[in-house]
Structure 1
Amino acid sequence: MKFRNIIKFSVLCFAFGNLSAQNPWPNATNTAQPWTRWWWMGSAVDENGLDKQLTTLSKAGFGGVEIVPIYGAKGFENRYLNYLSPEWMKTLQFTTTKAKSLNMGVDMAVGTGWPIGGPQVIEQDAATKMIVQTYDIQANEKFSDKIVLKDEKQKNLKTVKLDIITAYNDKNEVVVLTDKVSQDGTLNWKPISGKWVMYAVFTGKTLQKVKRAAPGGEGYTLDHFSPDATKDYLRSFDKAFGNSNYGIRSFFNDSYEVYNADWTAGFKDEFKKRRGYDLSPYIKYLVSDNESEIAGRIKSDYRETMSELILHNFTEKFTNWAHSKNSNNTNQAHGSPGNLLDLYAAVDIPESETFGSTKFDIEGLKRNVEDINTKEVPDINMLKFASSAANVMGKRLISNESFTWLTEHFKTSWSQVKPEAEQIFLSGINHIFYHGTTYTPADVQFPGWLFYASTNFVPENSLWPNIKGLNSYIERTQSVLQNGKSDNEILMYWPVYDQWASPKGKDMTFKIHNIEKWLHPTIFYENLEKLGKSGYSLDMISDQMISEAKFENQNIQVAKGGGSYKVLIIPQLNYFSESTLKNILHLAQNGASVIFQSEPKDVPGFFEFEKRRTELQSLWNQIQFHQAGNLKSSTFGKGKIVLTSDVEKALEYLNIEREKLTDTGLKFWRRNFDGGKYYYIVNHTSKEINQNIPLNFIGKQVALMNPENGDFGLAETQNNSVRVKLKSGQSLFIKVSETLDNSIPKWKYIEKTDAPIVLNQPWQLTFKVGGPEFPKSRILTKLQPWTNFTEDASTQSFSGTGIYTTSFKVKKRADDFVLKLDKLYESAKVIVNGQDAGIVWSIPFEINIGKYLKKGKNTIQIEVSNLMANRIRYMDQHKIQWRNYHEINFVNIDYKPFDASNWKVQPSGLDGEIQLIPVYFSK
């Protein structure tokens, strides 16, 4: 076969593979493309600027934006628009109309900055806390002090009031005195004996205001536990929006970061209604450091009540309000004092968050310790709280605020973003929002306006010319992960009562920033880690979800359209609700399989706990276990209940198969589609994996799909395994179908390679796009980064694109040629013989270019874009003002004033060898 025929065949295959009739990739909507949080600084936006930036984002492969107004830049105050003002709403309408013309979506935060609040939050609707004062009183002593709030900051507030006052003596006798205190704080009570301590609980205000608020958005943060406060808050949006949603796809609420909000007006009555008893006689156990059993029970009831209040009085009302606008809502539940699973389940699009940098074993992946926050590491199991709720309840989209503080400013490459995105996908999330992009007016010089905590996904970023590579990868990946539904076989109960029953502290918030305290030390987490690594797929489930679950079609299902599960696991725990056990036994009665890692020890909470404990034990005693090897098993109705500390043994006993492909080190996520299954396979190991990997599901036809370039083809299979070749850092989809499609070509497996052609001839280096000034063009006798040429000072400060150009001859015949870049700082567009051959942006730095080559002389240009870091370093060294914002201004990764003047110069360009490797495919 002549060389030109090989090239012709290659081109034909390329075109053939992109015919829609034979393309196994799902059609990608704009939700499959990445979206970005769009910071409007001071809301100083105008129609020309909005038009330009939306067009730029669209061309770069973004599917939508999420508007969050924040504090503004100094000197631009005359351009500020007040949040929700008529002018602001007119601008919003322009934005959504323009976005629609570009097939982009627009989401919008229900507030500026975070947490939500603003001028519409009057005092009574503001975040509320309990303020506790104690008093000593002796027998027959007239108490002369006034029981009034002493906090100076609260004195001028009209809503402060005494909620509870209860006295305890040294015998622990108790008297509730709330009705013994007159309006002016006079106590009308004298003890007849003993020494007493009185606990007075006042309803006060946290006085917290919105952080990073935009003009027109300043004010108190909201009391999320009050239905009236929620209604009042949303009324201002009703006024601004009228009967229209202005084209907003989804209204967004950021993570709950309301500090010290541990009470609400009417809490005492809500507590009694929900928990069945008056809290007043037990208030000491809630507010003191008493770590007795009774304190743990009271605190458990208190925390459960807080959870119910934020669920019913805020989250559900927020969802209903969004629906009244014919929109969806998006909510970040983490950080709140509630059952995260129920809170995520109560919205249309549950959203999680990644913060910090994960350590991956990928060969060559850059991770400089000085550029990362080593205290904050994203955790895949934390992300699964959001995806679990969505999967169980049948919600199609699960979003993520992605890459917050992935590295220090201006030092994040797209190759570092990719594995972090893959970990998000492997958690079951399928709708990434970059954090983030800042609107910049046309007349603002480099680097434009920037948000203090973002990875800089901005057009001013010197890496922007190659962001389409990253965005296309995410689009293809999410097009699959948004198709069909999750295919997890296991449900694992989250024993939240074990958390709530802790006698330490008072309110309990489940934050992403302190998982080492509430998540990592648990047996629950140990199970998540172990089962995941063993190849099992699971979702978490709450008590509420269990109460709604049914056993149908040989599976456990909670919601129509939600996931179907083969088994429910109850991990080792201390506290378990008798009503939840009753619901589980009902499931088993109808045919469900259930694994208990231990016998439930006790019921949570205080109300009639001895009676409920007896009921729990009685229900448990209904299960008649018999020994089955090293575990206990019981046939319960049509189902089966297994008791063992070894969950994996129980799963084997129940014939629940794990995916053995994880034994290779590969990670996976699996989804069902109509007629088959998708496997998303990722290699985060340091080695290449080139072997047949076993799958639990093979079907009639197996296709491989490469999300980096869109290639696809039929895989080689043997028994129940699929031949896969993945280098360190690569990923792949495996599509297993129950039907045959003979039009799909075979996958091109590389069977052998010839000796590489080393492109060690001279290279020309020129520059385009960037600044502060272009370095001199030069001929390189040895390939090296442009930052090596220290005699030209501009090489040390330039951020932009350098073009390496050379010519070479091809004499060998091969099925294809792989261009391999040894060291790339940081991404590159490859142009071969004047044709765009693609973008190299992720590890391994390789690209197939055979179809662009010709016999004889060939020319190659490698257009390398580097980090923004060197130019920012230059600007700080020369005291060039570029950060001048109100509020926090601009900080580094440790939240200290930002200064790049002492940074080392970041290597930029190409280094090492460039090889052209002839490859041959299997026939």
Structure 2
Amino acid sequence: MRKISYLLIFVCFSAVNTILAQDYPPETLRSLAGKFSDPPIEYRPNAWWHWMGSNFSKEGVVKDLHAMKEAGVGGVIIFNAPSWLDTAMNPWPQQHYRSKAYWEALELALSEAKSLNMTVGIHNSPGWSTTGGPWIKPEQGMQEAGFSTTIIEGNQKLNVTLPKPKMNEVAAPYYKEVAVMAVPLRKGVAAGDVLDISDQFSNDRLNWAAPAGKWKIYRFGYYPSLIHTHPVPEDVEATSLEADKMNPEATIAHWKNVLNPLEERLGQYIGNTFNIIWVDSYEARDQNWSSNFRNDFIKVKGYDPVVQVILAYERGDSIFNEEMHGIHPAGEKFSSQTNRFLSDYKEVINRLFLQCFQLGKDMVNKAGFQFAWEPYGSIWEAPFDRTEGIGIADIPATEFWVHSTEPSGEGSFATAAAKNDHRIVAAEAFTGMEAACRFTETPAMLKRPADMGFSYGINKFFLHSWAHNPLSDAYQPGWSFAHYGTHFSRTQTWLEPGKAFFTYLARCQMLLQQGTFIVRTANVLQRSTPEAEIFFVRNTNEATEKTIAFPVKNAVPELWDAYRGIIQQTNQWKQQGDSTFVTIKLDKDQSMFIVFPAQKTTYFKQPEVAVLNEEPVALKDRWIITFHPKTNEKTFTRKWNKLVDFSKEHNKAVQYFSGTAVYEQTITIKKEDLASDKRILIDLGTVYDMAGLEINGKKAGILWSPPFKADITRLLKAGKNTVKIAVTNTWVNRLIGDEQYPADFEWTMLENNGTPAMNGLPRMKGLPEWATNGQPRPSKERKTFIPWSYFNKNSPLVPAGLLGPVTLRYQQLKVN
């Protein structure tokens, strides 16, 4: 079906030249063309590297980093997370957060990363939220306002005890006074009627000559909300508090405790290998007070917030949100006077939050790091302005999940980043949970959310998650980040062929990091450089032919295909007015860069060809299949006369197979079919889940997303040819196969605190001694080893292998 879509973009190009003054890599269009096939490491995706409690090892650190570099991952951000195992069964009790062993492992990671030309960053706090740690004392933590009320009769000398305000559900270690106020009990009380009698109060008692009438006495103060950073290594779970987000002194104390040890122990790496301090999305709930809040509010707004809080409650407006430790938003349930105050209250909180984040950012920069920040709330709305936060960060970051239709932050990040001269827009990429990520993830599955992220202007992915695996490769898949995230790891079945996917991401990131973000509409995004206009186009529907109007004139379009890594000419375009109309064919979930160079280019571009005729010829189903199990078992071979789904086989070694199966067949090619005006495509049909091609001993590429087709003409010869198709599936079937046998370790359905396990998933209670001591495994039947179970013996198997039909497509061509 042919469609015409109009890309309506109104751009003031005179303004673009000013914006382009921002820093960007000194790339020319020629240099980009030269790097397009294999982008350098600075354009590669990075990974979130979760260290799980005390479960880290030097051997695992080295193996993880080498596997990442080999796969095409350019750097890591270290997060210190819990093990989620029974701490009583901890085999490495000396390896706690910031222990001697921890610092040694961290220095080894930096040393190894430096040797690999990789970069390392670290999350500022233990856990992923937000800013804090075991160094934060309760008085430096987040604070919450509260008050008690006492009714008294006036016209007498009082000496009464005023109760302390009710604190939160956790016993607070202290309470700090702010003010004692007296309000006459009558309707229509105004600010001038509220008396500050704080000087008449001490040691819990009020000594006051009360005027005639009834009075309500407010004892107003604040106490720590005791919000903890989370989720953190078990050894600091009880002590890791969130820092006060509105107090500069607490902010400075926090960042000193983050940065000083890094500078003292790892200073030689800072600014080169060690270059990012990360702040994840905001999950610290709210804050409505701080030791300096009253004075700060008066400086900003010119009136006393304590008086206005009291007047709000006198009007019957309960503005404090005790559950969230903050304030309720303005709304219809409150009076207009209260809503005006709440608007001011929210504005001052926002201002103080952002000032403290700016202070932290400045300290991070002074120490030699870049400040990466996800400035939004991922569970609740954050108490600060996202757009201003984007301006503060050196590397503003958002997030998207495997099921996302748009990134967090309503897609505004690229626009806000461009306004603040930020070239990079990062993302926590491919976050997920067990509904979508059960070792079921494949590059084909991940392409749609990846392209969605690119279409919103994201140009630097941080893969979520590569859990650090401290164990030997004898135990696979090994560690995972609980039930969160896509399972990137050195033991992933498809890591080797997945290099093609990581290269695709790098190609897209390289182009999308050039110049300046201009605009996005639907599934088209534009960036502008001094040498070219660059558009990223994606198709989320079935295969189609589209004609798209681009706001460019006097330029010849080029097609830059990031999936295949090639640049192609096209004659399917015309200029009309101030637009250029380009017709392109896109398969489902295919993407393409349309590049409009300002000048004629001389780098190589594949000529456009027209297919005049095609003759499909199905290969005979005579296959020799060599199975290479990922679990280090012996390979085995089968001869099949038909292509079948492995999961439907009765042989258990095939039925529960996970790994790579190499299909081999000999084909005969006629000399005339190799003429210059002909080509031969191989079409694999249905594949679970990706395929590497080899023709006559030479690699012919990786097919990791449908349609599984490739041009193999250049590798063929007249006569007999050997075709090999290496098909890799996921871990799923082998994991289900293992559940047919008793476990040789203990599963539990409870958390360490006795509550039901997260989302009802069984977890390993603790690492078995035979695993940590390198002893033979008790079970001879079980082949896999994971701390979290997604399946049981009755879980349905998933399709696996090459299902075909495999077809050679003989094409007669016309070169345009």
Q: Same fold (TM over 0.5)?
A: yes
Does residue 1:185 correspond to 2:199, yes or no?
no
Does residue 1:807 correspond to 2:662, yes or no?
no
Q: What per-residue deviation string (whole Å, max 9, x for no partner) do you get for residues 500-524 of structure 1?
A: xxxxxxxxxxxxxxxxxxxxxxxxx
Moved more, 41-50 or 851-860: 41-50
Q: Which one-letter code corresponds to 1:671 in the other structure?
A: R
Does residue 1:311 correspond to 2:354, yes or no?
yes
Does the 8 Å CA contact 1:753/1:917 hold for their aligned counterparts? no
Distance (whole Å) between structure 1 residues aligned to residue 167 and residue 498 of structure 2: 53
Does residue 1:124 correspond to 2:151, yes or no?
no
Aligned partner of 1:907 among 776, 799, 802: 799
Aligned partner of 1:711 among 566, 571, 579: 566
Equivalent positions of 1:224-243 (< 5 A) are 224-242=245-263
Equivalent positions of 1:866-885 (< 5 A) are 866-880=729-743, 881=745
Distance (whole Å) between structure 2 residues aligned to residue 753 and residue 80 of structure 1: 70
Distance (whole Å) between structure 2 residues aligned to residue 215 and residue 466 of structure 1: 36
Does residue 1:465 correspond to 2:484, yes or no?
no
The residue number in structure 1 matching 2:92 is 78
Does the 8 Å CA contact 2:172/2:224 hold for their aligned counterparts? no
Distance (whole Å) between structure 1 residues aligned to residue 803 and residue 354 of structure 2: 55
Distance (whole Å) between structure 2 residues aligned to residue 21 and residue 31 of structure 1: 13
Does residue 1:50 correspond to 2:61, yes or no?
yes
The residue number in structure 1 matching 2:322 is none
> Following TM superposition, by how much is the alpha carbon of 1:355 offset from its aligned partner in structure 2, in angstroms?
3.2
Q: Which one-letter code corresponds to 2:183 in the other structure?
A: A
The residue number in structure 1 matching 2:420 is 393
Does residue 1:346 correspond to 2:346, yes or no?
no
Does the 8 Å CA contact 2:147/2:218 hold for their aligned counterparts? yes
> Following TM superposition, by how much is the alpha carbon of 1:888 offset from its aligned partner in structure 2, in angstroms?
9.1
Structure 1 pair 215/187, CA: closer, same or farther in 2 (3 Å)? same
Distance (whole Å) between structure 2 residues aligned to residue 910 and residue 253 of structure 1: 44
Q: Which one-letter code corresponds to 1:731 in the other structure?
A: S
Paired-residue identity, %: 23
What is the DSSP-based 3-state SS (H/G/I as helix, E as strand, rest coil) of the residue aligned with 1:31? helix
> Following TM superposition, by how much is the alpha carbon of 1:671 offset from its aligned partner in structure 2, in angstroms?
0.8
Distance (whole Å) between structure 2 residues aligned to residue 181 and residue 114 of structure 1: 46
Distance (whole Å) between structure 2 residues aligned to residue 85 and residue 816 of structure 1: 62
Distance (whole Å) between structure 1 residues aligned to residue 402 and residue 535 of structure 2: 27
Does residue 1:214 correspond to 2:233, yes or no?
yes
Does the 8 Å CA contact 1:400/1:433 hold for their aligned counterparts? yes
Q: Which one-letter code corresponds to 1:334 in the other structure?
A: Y
Aligned partner of 1:846 among 685, 706, 709: 709
Aligned partner of 1:670 among 520, 526, 530: 526
Distance (whole Å) between structure 1 residues aligned to residue 150 and residue 525 of structure 2: 58
Distance (whole Å) between structure 1 residues aligned to residue 32 and residue 590 of structure 2: 27
Q: Which runs of 5+ in 2 are unaligned?
A: 1-28, 320-332, 763-788
Does the 8 Å CA contact 2:174/2:224 hold for their aligned counterparts? no
Q: What per-residue deviation string (whole Å, max 9, x for no partner) do you get for residues 268-292 of structure 1?
A: 1111111221112210438615511
Distance (whole Å) between structure 2 residues aligned to residue 68 and residue 307 of structure 1: 27
Does the 8 Å CA contact 1:180/1:189 hold for their aligned counterparts? no
The residue number in structure 1 matching 2:10 is none
Aligned partner of 1:35 among 46, 49, 71: 46
Q: What per-residue deviation string (whole Å, max 9, x for no partner) do you get for residues 526-569 of structure 1?
A: xxxxxx6xx4xxxxxxxxxxxxxxxxxxxxxxxxxxxxxxxxxx
The residue number in structure 1 matching 2:324 is none
> Following TM superposition, by how much is the alpha carbon of 1:840 offset from its aligned partner in structure 2, in angstroms?
1.1
Structure 1 pair 176/759, CA: closer, same or farther in 2 (3 Å)? farther
Aligned partner of 1:431 among 450, 455, 460: 460
Structure 1 pair 295/708, CA: closer, same or farther in 2 (3 Å)? same
Does the 8 Å CA contact 1:180/1:188 hold for their aligned counterparts? no
Structure 1 pair 879/310, CA: closer, same or farther in 2 (3 Å)? farther
The residue number in structure 1 matching 2:337 is 294
Equivalent positions of 1:646-725 (< 5 A) are 667-689=523-545, 691-716=546-571, 717-719=573-575, 720-725=580-585
The residue number in structure 2 matching 1:485 is 516
Structure 1 pair 62/887, CA: closer, same or farther in 2 (3 Å)? farther
Distance (whole Å) between structure 1 residues aligned to residue 211 and residue 608 of structure 2: 92
The residue number in structure 2 matching 1:337 is 383
Distance (whole Å) between structure 1 residues aligned to residue 184 and residue 706 of structure 2: 66
The residue number in structure 2 matching 1:320 is 362
Does the 8 Å CA contact 1:771/1:798 hold for their aligned counterparts? no
Q: Which one-letter code corresponds to 1:675 in the other structure?
A: E
The residue number in structure 2 matching 1:68 is 79
Does the 8 Å CA contact 1:704/1:734 hold for their aligned counterparts? yes
> Following TM superposition, by how much is the alpha carbon of 1:76 offset from its aligned partner in structure 2, in angstroms?
4.7
> Following TM superposition, by how much is the alpha carbon of 1:774 offset from its aligned partner in structure 2, in angstroms?
6.8
Q: Which one-letter code corresponds to 2:336 in the other structure?
A: E
> Following TM superposition, by how much is the alpha carbon of 1:317 offset from its aligned partner in structure 2, in angstroms?
1.4
Distance (whole Å) between structure 1 residues aligned to residue 293 and residue 541 of structure 2: 51
Does the 8 Å CA contact 1:414/1:842 hold for their aligned counterparts? yes
Moved more, 339-348 or 270-279: 270-279
Q: What per-residue deviation string (whole Å, max 9, x for no partner) do you get for residues 632-669 of structure 1?
A: xxxxxxxxxxxxxxxxxxxxxxxxxxxxxx6xxxx211
Structure 1 pair 161/763, CA: closer, same or farther in 2 (3 Å)? farther
Distance (whole Å) between structure 2 residues aligned to residue 152 and residue 728 of structure 1: 53
Distance (whole Å) between structure 2 residues aligned to residue 166 and residue 428 of structure 1: 55
> Following TM superposition, by how much is the alpha carbon of 1:848 offset from its aligned partner in structure 2, in angstroms?
2.5
Does the 8 Å CA contact 1:729/1:844 hold for their aligned counterparts? no
What is the DSSP-based 3-state SS (H/G/I as helix, E as strand, rest coil) of the residue aligned with 2:464? strand
What is the DSSP-based 3-state SS (H/G/I as helix, E as strand, rest coil) of the residue aligned with 1:345? helix
> Following TM superposition, by how much is the alpha carbon of 1:762 offset from its aligned partner in structure 2, in angstroms?
2.0
Aligned partner of 1:404 among 426, 431, 451: 431
Structure 1 pair 829/227, CA: closer, same or farther in 2 (3 Å)? same
Structure 1 pair 774/870, CA: closer, same or farther in 2 (3 Å)? farther
> Following TM superposition, by how much is the alpha carbon of 1:188 offset from its aligned partner in structure 2, in angstroms?
4.2
The residue number in structure 2 matching 1:636 is none
TM (norm. structure 1) is 0.71
Ranked by relative contact order (alpha carbons within 8 Å, sequence separation 6 or more), the top structure is 2
Structure 1 pair 186/879, CA: closer, same or farther in 2 (3 Å)? farther
> Following TM superposition, by how much is the alpha carbon of 1:305 offset from its aligned partner in structure 2, in angstroms?
0.9
Matched residues, number: 709
Distance (whole Å) between structure 1 residues aligned to residue 754 and residue 728 of structure 2: 28
Q: What per-residue deviation string (whole Å, max 9, x for no partner) do you get for residues 586-636 of structure 1?
A: xxxxxxxxxxxxxxxxxxxxxxxxxxxxxxxxxxxxxxxxxxxxxxxxxxx
> Following TM superposition, by how much is the alpha carbon of 1:225 offset from its aligned partner in structure 2, in angstroms?
1.5
The residue number in structure 2 matching 1:788 is 648
Distance (whole Å) between structure 2 residues aligned to residue 139 and residue 807 of structure 1: 104
Does residue 1:281 correspond to 2:338, yes or no?
no
The residue number in structure 2 matching 1:605 is none
Q: Which one-letter code corresponds to 2:174 in the other structure?
A: K
> Following TM superposition, by how much is the alpha carbon of 1:50 offset from its aligned partner in structure 2, in angstroms?
1.9
Equivalent positions of 1:742-761 (< 5 A) are 742-761=602-621
What is the DSSP-based 3-state SS (H/G/I as helix, E as strand, rest coil) of the residue aligned with 2:43? coil
Q: What per-residue deviation string (whole Å, max 9, x for no partner) do you get for residues 439-468 of structure 1?
A: 112436122111021210112222222210
Does residue 1:855 correspond to 2:718, yes or no?
yes
Q: What per-residue deviation string (whole Å, max 9, x for no partner) do you get for residues 161-183 of structure 1?
A: 34565636341315244616622
The residue number in structure 2 matching 1:922 is 815
Distance (whole Å) between structure 1 residues aligned to residue 112 and residue 742 of structure 2: 38
Does the 8 Å CA contact 2:518/2:526 hold for their aligned counterparts? yes
Structure 1 pair 131/677, CA: closer, same or farther in 2 (3 Å)? same
Distance (whole Å) between structure 2 residues aligned to residue 800 and residue 888 of structure 1: 37
The residue number in structure 2 matching 1:252 is 278
